[in-house]
Every structure is written in structure tokens, then in C-alpha cells.
């Protein structure tokens, strides 16, 4: 830890390290689960995507693009050098998904089928919104602590 002349601590506490690690691990599990469940249940995922409000060609592209992007994100989160990029990427994805949910809840679309995989597809839209907001907060915590850790490391 870094201290100044008065002995004040400017280091990264053990508690902060645990919170950072847990938030990154949670995000890895979240996006791994989402991607793998879409790929394992590809036909269901494709049908759900085709039932979205998007044009058919765009929905077909998203059928492969979404799990691919989620897996690329998991890779970014898996390496210390790219974890901050991965957390920014995660935050962007979660905010995008959350905006889609909010627009659906505001009846901006003629229909709003769920194309989430696994246990998430059993959630109601309001529950899904709260789940996403909680995920966003966890990602923000991880991002803030990862940036803080990087800055402390740069000053050593």
C-alpha cells in the first residue's frame, strides 16, 4: 500500500479487492451463462430472435452475434490487461438490454418476446428490469474498483 508522509493509506484494501473480484467473476458467469445457453438451445434462441421486432435479416445476424459478443466479452474479463475494457463492454451491453426492456415496458413495441436463455426467460419483465439494474450496479462497482486498482498500480 502507498502511504503519504502523514501515514494515510492510499492503497487498495482487501475488502475492495474482494468486491472487485466478486463483481468480475459474477459478470463472467452472467455472460458465459447467457452465451452458452443461447448456443446450446440454438433453435429456440433463433426462433425467439426471429420473433423480435427487428427485421428478419437483422434478427438472424443477432442470433450469432449476441452470443459471440458475450463470449468475446468473457475473454476480455478473463485477463487482467483487458478486464477494464471487458467491464466497460459489459456495462454497455447491460445498459442496452435494459433500455430494450424499458422500451418494452413503455409499450414502444407491438410485441416483446423474451430471447434470453435459461432461467432469465422465466422472469417477468419488471423482475428482469430489476435484475438488469442490479447487474449494472455490480458491474459499475467492479469497474470503479478495477480503475482504482490500476491507478494505484501505475503510481507505484
Domains: count for the chain? 1
In a domain, 19, yes or no: yes
Segments forming the whole domain that contains residue 142:
14-153
The predicted-structure confidence for 5-25, as pLDDT tens digits, reads as follows: 444 345 678 899 999 999 999
Does residue 66 lie within any of the structural domains? yes
Report the b/e string of 109-134 with b at 16+ CB within 10 A.
eeebebbbbeebbeeeeeebbebbee
In a domain, 4, yes or no: no
Q: What is the mean pLDDT of residues 125-142?
A: 95
137 is a domain residue: yes
Residue 73 lies in a domain: yes
pTM of the model: 0.84
Is residue 8 situated within a structural domain? no
Residue 9 lies in a domain: no
Does any domain span residue 64? yes
pLDDT above 60 (res 4): no
Q: What are the pLDDT digits (tens) for 73-122?
A: 999 999 999 999 999 999 999 999 999 889 988 988 877 766 666 677 77
Amino acid at each position: 500500500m502507498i502511504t503519504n508522509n502523514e501515514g494515510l493509506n492510499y492503497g487498495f484494501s482487501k475488502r475492495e479487492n474482494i468486491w472487485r473480484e466478486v463483481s468480475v467473476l459474477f459478470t463472467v458467469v452472467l455472460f458465459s451463462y447467457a452465451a452458452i445457453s443461447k448456443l446450446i438451445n440454438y433453435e429456440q434462441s433463433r426462433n425467439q430472435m426471429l420473433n423480435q421486432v427487428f427485421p428478419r435479416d437483422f434478427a438472424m445476424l443477432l442470433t450469432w452475434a449476441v452470443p459471440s459478443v458475450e463470449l468475446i466479452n468473457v475473454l476480455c474479463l478473463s485477463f487482467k490487461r483487458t478486464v477494464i475494457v471487458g467491464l466497460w463492454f459489459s456495462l454497455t451491453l447491460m445498459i442496452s438490454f435494459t433500455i430494450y426492456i424499458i422500451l418494452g415496458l413503455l409499450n414502444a413495441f407491438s410485441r416483446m418476446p423474451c430471447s434470453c436463455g435459461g432461467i432469465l426467460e422465466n422472469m417477468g419483465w419488471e423482475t428482469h428490469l430489476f435484475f438488469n439494474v442490479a447487474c449494472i450496479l455490480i458491474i459499475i462497482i467492479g469497474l470503479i474498483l478495477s480503475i482504482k486498482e490500476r491507478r494505484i498500480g501505475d503510481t507505484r
